[in-house]
């Protein structure tokens, strides 16, 4: 509060001794400034307390050994870089990193799937709104419910997936019980859930923003449907693709906890434990190593930042606006 | 930018093309819909139908039964110390509990024989268990018994009476199961039963209210009455069986209320604080405004994973762990909402606002009477998204609460999953209970979503 009242006062008082009128003007300006800050204050305080403070606290925590309990506040020890050193030596961390990267293979699948669906529902068909709603269904259903549904679908004995596979004479694996298949199962569920969702809508909006005259010009040049897509549509969609990829990578790195928690609890044999699952595990489930978990969170942040910057620089060269 | 559903589409399909398109579209739609169909079909089965025929798409419903016999065994009362007291001489009481026990009507068990007129006719059958008084057994909190059901769907009512008191059923129990099953009749109001048992809630009708417990020794008789149902009611009872068990085995009502309350509070809080701050960033002049705004933008980059541990510690430090405060307050302030509204406010014409200022409106009144009404679409989009985000929140409520009555829908559903691991009929029923209400809301508000998604995607 002190800074807020001081700041306008410094800016508002003229150097010389103010006359009565000038003093009133100063007062009005001060009141104006104060009321402006009053608009900002609720949100600012909230953001300070629940964003800025946690960021700082998390950074400090990353260099401490602490269970987070108030009773053990005496037991806080300075760790220096120990948390980071232990982290890089921790097999579970590397495994979770590997798992996350493998699960991110779903991003390109999702991208092409969504583009395909967008191209389909962009066609001139009368009942297209119905299809769009049906495609939208998994996206707007509760994620927990969807993951529970798929956990049941993957059941090796009674689940629908293996039943359909048996129908085409294939012997389905124990999807969620087999470490070799669990990640595939999670990717399929993730792609299925997002096929008609946000990415599809973004592509659809972008498709409809492409000027008709470009296609006409391509037609006059005798371009085939494929060439028309490859030389007109795809380049003009590149800003959307770029946006979707950047967001997908950011979410891919720090997501996956809910799906893994509901469907597999991170198992079998840690094969679906993602980085954020690893962090929450360290902080809340198996151990209460708040410092260690914070260190892992910062490493994750650094990775996300680096990858996003690389993508950004690549995008500057290859995206057509 | 607006999605123009009926606008230009490249190429106009001819007849054969449009048939091919529809085939492809229908194939895609089928993969989207098939899991949902399986979900509904599984939820419509009861345990037995699921065990015997997990593959069938339609649940088997047994023919209408107008006559038959139910067996009732081991009628007992549970006292405050959770001790069971047998209320009459039931031989081989333990045998009834064995899963392979067969119907033993008349062998020490109480037989409830019924012969109703054919379908639809009202009918009743009664069996009474006369209680042998037992001394010093404490006071009764629950009556339970073993029931050999015949899956007929007829409804069972239980009445417990003694000197000066009578307990009656709130809702009768449809006999949708076959074979022995334990039925529990609560004499005290219970919201739910975490063990997913067959439940009856009995209400005290005379001589006091539900909270006064009567001594076990005062119970004189326990009467069982079977009421006939029509074929339609029987089918309905069968199909809703899993839903009823799921609903009564977890406080889903409480979960829904929690989620609703939290989502509404977060939505109101976030819309309010964001629109106030956004107005300041968009229109008011003060030193350092744009730098501060940049700082706001920067906070949006910070991953939630970094924030969650210290926020959790902060909650504990404030003693907010496992309270509504922890679920509402941290979610009420959003840099993203401020950013989005600020961008929108910037596009509003200044004329109206200036006219209002000249007429002597203060900033607050301009904000309330000019800016907010003009921004309804943006506010609606932000509110819808905030509501959806809060409703869907999973990690934070999972970490920030621990008691059952603080759980939100998403987390409650996942704890339901812990209990009924492979009871897919119950799991699917519970998932549908959670899914359907929100699905309806979202389908009817679809345009807010599509608009919001496109808006957030085009923010560059």
Q: Does B428 lie in the same domain as B279?
A: yes
- Calpha distance B401→B323 (Å, rounded): 7
- Calpha distance A93→A39 (Å, rounded): 44
Q: Does B267 lie in the same domain as B216?
A: no
Greater pLDDT, B43 or B51: B43
Q: Hey, are the CB atoms on B25 and A254 less than 8 Å from each other?
A: no
Inter-chain Cβ pairs, chain A and chain B, closer than 8 A: 284
Using only C-alpha atoms, chain A has a radius of gyration, in whole angstroms, of 27
Of B12, B309, B434, the CB nearest to A294: B309
- Hey, which residues does B197 pair with through a beta bridge? none
At A162, list the tokens. Answer: 């293996």
B33, part of any domain: no
- Least confident segment among A21-35, B85-99, B134-148, B432-446: B85-99
Q: What is the tens place of the pLDDT at every residue in B211-228?
A: 678 888 888 888 898 888
Question: Among residues of chain B, what percentage have pLDDT more than 70?
Answer: 85
- Calpha distance B10→B157 (Å, rounded): 66
Segments forming the whole domain that contains residue B373 = 252-457
Using only C-alpha atoms, chain B has a radius of gyration, in whole angstroms, of 30
Residue B80's pLDDT is 83
Q: What is the CATH number of the domain that holds B391?
A: 1.10.3720.10
Q: What is the CATH number of the domain that holds B94?
A: 2.60.120
- Calpha distance A129→A204 (Å, rounded): 13
Q: Summarize the confidence of residues B354-360 as an average pLDDT.
A: 86
Residue with tokens 């006409």: A216
Report chain A residues whose CB lies below 8 A from the CB of B7: 208
Q: Measuring CA to CA, how many Å separate B115 from each of B67, B70, B325?
A: 4, 11, 57
B329, part of any domain: yes
B236, part of any domain: no
Q: How confident is the model at residue A318 (pLDDT cuts 50, 70, 90)?
A: confident
Give the 3-state secondary structure of residue B211.
Answer: coil
At A243, list the tokens. Answer: 């946006």
Q: Within an 8 Å CB–CB cutoff, is residue B444 touching chain A?
A: no
- Hey, which residues does B224 pair with through a beta bridge? B127, B158
Q: Hey, are the CB atoms on A70 and B428 less than 8 Å from each other?
A: no
Q: Does B279 lie in the same domain as B212?
A: no
Q: Hey, are the CB atoms on B36 and A276 less than 8 Å from each other?
A: no
- Calpha distance B399→A280 (Å, rounded): 9
Residue A198's pLDDT is 84
Q: How confident is the model at residue B458 (pLDDT cuts 50, 70, 90)?
A: very low
DSSP line for B289-323:
HHHHHHHHHHHTTS-HHHHHHHHHHHHHHTT-TTS
Q: Does B319 lie in the same domain as B213?
A: no
Spatial CB neighbours of A265, under 8 Å, sequence gap ≥ 6: none
Q: Hey, are the CB atoms on B3 and A144 less than 8 Å from each other?
A: no
Residue A18's pLDDT is 56
Residue B85's pLDDT is 79
B43, part of any domain: no
Number of neighbours of residue B428 by Cβ within 10 angstroms = 27
Q: Summarize the confidence of residues B20-34 as an average pLDDT.
A: 89
Q: What is the tens place of the pLDDT at every residue in B366-404?
A: 889 888 888 888 888 888 888 888 998 999 999 999 888
Residue B150's pLDDT is 83
Of B309, B391, B453, the CB nearest to A290: B309
Spatial CB neighbours of B107, under 8 Å, sequence gap ≥ 6: B91, B92
Report chain A residues whose CB lies below 8 A from the CB of B335: 47, 51
Q: Within an 8 Å CB–CB cutoff, is residue B32 touching chain A?
A: yes
Report chain A residues whose CB lies below 8 A from the CB of B296: 47
Q: Within an 8 Å CB–CB cutoff, is residue B240 touching chain A?
A: no
Report chain B residues whose CB lies below 8 A from the CB of A157: 54
Q: Hey, are the CB atoms on B453 and A198 less than 8 Å from each other?
A: yes
Q: Kindly state the DSSP code that residue B335 receives in the 8-state scheme.
A: H
Chain A residue at shortest CA distance from B452: A198
- Least confident segment among A55-59, A103-107, B242-246: B242-246
Interface test with A, best of B22, B295, B306, B421 (most A CBs within 10 A): B306
- Calpha distance B330→B270 (Å, rounded): 10
Greater pLDDT, B262 or B377: B262
| Closest chain A C-alpha to B168 CA, distance in angstroms | 36
Chain B residue at shortest CA distance from A219: B11
Spatial CB neighbours of B258, under 8 Å, sequence gap ≥ 6: B324, B327, B405, B406, B407, B408, B409
Greater pLDDT, A112 or A319: A112
Of B35, B277, B305, the CB nearest to A40: B277
- Calpha distance B369→B388 (Å, rounded): 27
- Calpha distance B114→B157 (Å, rounded): 14
Q: Within an 8 Å CB–CB cutoff, is residue B318 touching chain A?
A: no
- Calpha distance B57→B34 (Å, rounded): 11
Residue A109's pLDDT is 95
Report chain B residues whose CB lies below 8 A from the CB of A254: 303-305
CB A208 within 8 A of CB A277: no
CA dihedral B228, B233, B238, B244 (to 10 degrees): -100
- Least confident segment among A74-78, A143-147, B31-35, B119-123: B119-123
Residue B346's pLDDT is 87
Residue B164's pLDDT is 81
- Calpha distance A295→A301 (Å, rounded): 10
CA B415 to chain CA mean position, Å? 12
Is the pLDDT at A7 greater than 50, yes or no? no
CB B246 within 8 A of CB B412: no
Is the pLDDT at A99 greater than 50, yes or no? yes
Q: Kindly state the DSSP code that residue B151 receives in the 8-state scheme.
A: S
How do the domains of chain A map onto residue ranges? Answer: 2-61, 87-318
Q: Chain-wide mean pLDDT for chain A?
A: 85
Interface test with A, best of B6, B7, B9, B10 (most A CBs within 10 A): B10
Of B22, B272, B413, the CB nearest to A148: B413
Positive or negative, the CA dihedral B271, B272, B273, B274 is: positive
Is the pLDDT at A119 greater than 80, yes or no? yes
Report chain A residues whose CB lies below 8 A from the CB of B449: 140
Residue B178's pLDDT is 79
- Hey, which residues does B70 pair with through a beta bridge? B112
DSSP line for B353-398:
HHHHHHTT--HHHHIIIIIHHHTHHHHHHHHHHHHHHHHH--HHHH
Q: Hey, are the CB atoms on B10 and A205 less than 8 Å from each other?
A: no
Report chain B residues whose CB lies below 8 A from the CB of A8: 286-287
- Last residue within a domain, chosen from B230, B260, B295: B230
Spatial CB neighbours of B427, under 8 Å, sequence gap ≥ 6: A148, A152, B416, B417, B420
Q: How confident is the model at residue B194 (pLDDT cuts 50, 70, 90)?
A: low
Is the pLDDT at B169 greater than 60, yes or no? yes
Residue B250's pLDDT is 85
Is the pLDDT at A1 greater than 50, yes or no? no
Is the pLDDT at B191 greater than 70, yes or no? no
CB A92 within 8 A of CB A296: no
Q: Does B284 lie in the same domain as B419?
A: yes
Q: What is the tens place of the pLDDT at every residue in B46-75?
A: 777 777 776 777 877 778 888 888 888 888
Q: What is the pTM of this model?
A: 0.83
CB A280 within 8 A of CB A300: no
Spatial CB neighbours of A43, under 8 Å, sequence gap ≥ 6: B273, B274, B276, B277, B333, B338
How many domains is chain B partitioned into structurally? 2
B428, part of any domain: yes
Q: Within an 8 Å CB–CB cutoff, is residue B143 touching chain A?
A: no
Residue B8's pLDDT is 44
B377, part of any domain: yes
Residue A159's pLDDT is 85
Among B210, B244, B215, B219, smallest CA distance to B159 is for B219
Chain B residue at shortest CA distance from A41: B277
DSSP line for B156-205:
EEEEEEETTEEEEESSPEE---EEEEEEEEESS--S--TT--EEEEEEEE
Q: Chain-wide mean pLDDT for chain B?
A: 82
Q: How confident is the model at residue A202 (pLDDT cuts 50, 70, 90)?
A: confident
- Least confident segment among A87-96, A210-219, B197-206: B197-206
Q: Summarize the confidence of residues B100-108 as an average pLDDT.
A: 46
Top CATH class, A87-318: mainly alpha
Q: Does B414 lie in the same domain as B273?
A: yes
Q: Summarize the confidence of residues B411-431 as an average pLDDT.
A: 87
Residue B121's pLDDT is 66
Q: Within an 8 Å CB–CB cutoff, is residue B413 touching chain A?
A: yes
Give the 3-state secondary structure of residue B139.
Answer: strand
Q: Does B417 lie in the same domain as B350?
A: yes
Is the pLDDT at A201 greater than 80, yes or no? yes
Q: Does B357 lie in the same domain as B216?
A: no
What's the per-residue H, E or C state across chain A? CHHHHHHHHHHHCCCCCCCHHHHHHHHHHHHHHHHHHHHHHHHHHHHHHHHHHHHHHHHHHCCEECCCCHHHHHHCEECCCHHHHHHHHCHHHHHHHHHHHHHCCHHHHHHHHHHHHHHHHCCCCCCHHHHHHHHHHHHHCCHHHHHHHHHHHCCCCCCHHHHHHHHCCCCCCCCCCCCCCHHHHHHHHHHHHHCCCHHHHHHHHHHHCCCHHHHHHHHHCCCCHHHHHHHHHHHHCHHHHHHHHHHHHHHHHHCCHHHHHHHCCCCCCCCCCCHHHHHHHHHHHCCCCHHHHHHHHHHHHHHHHHHHHHHHHHHHHHCCC
Q: Hey, are the CB atoms on B39 and A149 less than 8 Å from each other?
A: yes
Is the pLDDT at B105 greater than 80, yes or no? no
First to last CA, chain B: 12
Residue B102's pLDDT is 45
CB A35 within 8 A of CB B273: no
- Hey, which residues does B200 pair with through a beta bridge? B185
Q: Hey, are the CB atoms on B310 and A117 less than 8 Å from each other?
A: no
B51, part of any domain: no
CB B422 within 8 A of CB A155: yes
Q: Does B153 lie in the same domain as B266?
A: no
CA A101 to chain CA mean position, Å? 14
- Last residue within a domain, chosen from B198, B230, B262: B230
Q: Hey, are the CB atoms on B438 and A142 less than 8 Å from each other?
A: yes
Q: Summarize the confidence of residues A85-89 as an average pLDDT.
A: 91
CB A195 within 8 A of CB A110: yes
Give the 3-state secondary structure of residue B400.
Answer: helix
A191: left (phi over 0), alpha (psi -120 to 50) or beta: alpha
| Closest chain A C-alpha to B93 CA, distance in angstroms | 35
Number of neighbours of residue B180 by Cβ within 10 angstroms = 22
Q: What is the tens place of the pLDDT at every residue in B271-329?
A: 999 999 999 998 888 888 888 888 888 888 888 889 999 999 999 889 999 999 999 99
Chain B residue at shortest CA distance from A216: B10
Upstream peptide bond of A268 is cis (omega within 30 degrees of 0): yes
Q: Kindly state the DSSP code that residue B85 receives in the 8-state scheme.
A: E
- Calpha distance B210→B202 (Å, rounded): 9
Q: Hey, are the CB atoms on A145 and B422 less than 8 Å from each other?
A: no
């Amino acid at each position: 509060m002190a800074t807020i009242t001081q700041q306008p006062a410094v800016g508002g008082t003229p150097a010389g001794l103010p006359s009565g009128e000038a003093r009133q003007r100063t007062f009005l300006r001060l009141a104006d400034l104060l009321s402006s800050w009053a608009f900002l204050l609720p949100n600012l305080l909230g953001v300070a307390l629940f964003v800025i403070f946690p960021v700082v606290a998390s950074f400090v925590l990353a260099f401490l050994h602490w269970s987070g309990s108030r009773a053990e506040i005496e037991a806080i020890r300075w760790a220096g870089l120990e948390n980071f050193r232990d982290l890089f030596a921790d097999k579970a961390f590397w495994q979770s990193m590997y798992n996350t990267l493998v699960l991110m293979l779903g991003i390109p699948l999702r991208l092409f799937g969504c583009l395909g669906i967008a191209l389909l529902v962009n066609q001139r068909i009368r009942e297209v709104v119905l299809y769009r709603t049906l495609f939208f269904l998994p996206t707007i259903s509760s994620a927990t419910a969807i993951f529970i549904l798929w956990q049941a679908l993957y059941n090796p004995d009674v689940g629908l997936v293996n039943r359909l596979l048996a129908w085409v004479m294939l012997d389905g694996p124990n999807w969620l019980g087999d470490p070799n298949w669990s990640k595939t199962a999670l990717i399929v569920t993730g792609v299925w859930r997002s096929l008609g969702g946000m990415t599809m809508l973004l592509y659809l909006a972008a498709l409809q923003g492409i000027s008709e005259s470009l296609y006409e010009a391509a037609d006059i040049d005798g371009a085939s449907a494929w060439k028309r897509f490859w030389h007109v549509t795809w380049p003009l969609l590149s800003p959307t693709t770029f946006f979707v990829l950047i967001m997908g990578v950011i979410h891919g790195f720090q997501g996956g906890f809910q799906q893994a928690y509901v469907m597999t609890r991170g198992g079998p044999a840690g094969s679906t434990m993602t980085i954020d699952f690893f962090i929450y595990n360290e902080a809340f489930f198996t151990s209460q190593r708040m410092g260690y978990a914070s260190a892992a969170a910062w490493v994750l942040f650094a990775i996300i930042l680096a990858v996003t910057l690389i993508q950004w620089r690549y995008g500057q060269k290859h995206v057509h606006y | 930018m607006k999605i123009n559903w009926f606008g230009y589409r490249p190429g106009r399909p001819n007849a054969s093309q449009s048939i091919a398109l529809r085939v492809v579209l229908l194939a895609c739609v089928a993969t989207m819909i098939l899991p949902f169909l399986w979900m509904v079909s599984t939820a419509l089965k009861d345990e037995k139908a699921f065990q015997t025929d997990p593959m069938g798409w339609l649940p088997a419903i047994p023919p209408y039964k107008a006559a038959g016999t139910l067996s009732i065994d081991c009628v007992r009362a549970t006292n405050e110390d959770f001790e069971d007291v047998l209320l009459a001489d039931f031989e081989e009481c333990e045998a009834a509990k064995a899963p392979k026990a067969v119907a033993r009507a008349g062998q020490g068990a109480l037989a409830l024989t019924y012969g109703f007129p054919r379908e639809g006719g009202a009918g009743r059958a009664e069996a009474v268990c006369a209680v042998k008084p037992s001394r010093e057994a404490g006071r009764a909190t629950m009556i339970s018994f073993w029931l050999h059901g015949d899956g007929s769907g007829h409804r069972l009512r239980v009445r417990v009476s003694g000197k000066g008191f009578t307990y009656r059923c709130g809702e009768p129990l449809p006999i949708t199961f076959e074979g022995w099953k334990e039925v529990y009749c609560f004499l005290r109001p219970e919201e739910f039963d975490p063990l997913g048992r067959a439940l009856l809630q009995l209400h005290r009708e005379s001589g006091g209210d539900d909270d006064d417990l009567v001594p076990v020794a005062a119970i004189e008789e326990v009467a069982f009455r079977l009421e006939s149902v029509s074929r339609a009611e029987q089918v309905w009872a069968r199909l809703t069986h899993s839903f009823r068990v799921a609903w009564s085995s977890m406080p889903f009502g409480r979960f829904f209320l929690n989620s609703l309350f939290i989502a509404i509070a977060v939505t109101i809080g976030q819309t309010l604080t964001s629109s106030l701050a956004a107005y300041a960033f968009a229109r008011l002049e003060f030193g350092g405004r744009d730098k501060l705004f940049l700082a706001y933008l920067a906070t949006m980059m910070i991953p939630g994973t970094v924030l969650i541990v210290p926020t959790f510690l902060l909650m504990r430090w404030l003693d907010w762990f496992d309270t509504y405060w922890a679920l509402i307050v941290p979610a009420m302030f959003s840099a993203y909402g401020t950013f989005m509204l600020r961008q929108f406010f910037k596009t509003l014409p200044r004329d109206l606002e200036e006219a209002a200022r000249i007429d002597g409106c203060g900033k607050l009144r301009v904000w309330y009477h000019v800016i907010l009404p003009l921004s309804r679409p943006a506010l609606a989009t932000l509110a819808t998204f905030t509501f959806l985000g809060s409703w869907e929140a999973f990690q934070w409520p999972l970490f920030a609460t621990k008691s059952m009555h603080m759980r939100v829908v998403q987390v409650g559903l996942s704890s339901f999953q812990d209990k009924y691991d492979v009871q897919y009929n119950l799991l699917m029923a519970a998932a549908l209970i959670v899914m359907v209400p929100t699905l309806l809301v979202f389908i009817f508000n679809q345009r807010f979503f599509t608009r919001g998604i496109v808006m957030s995607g085009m923010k560059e």
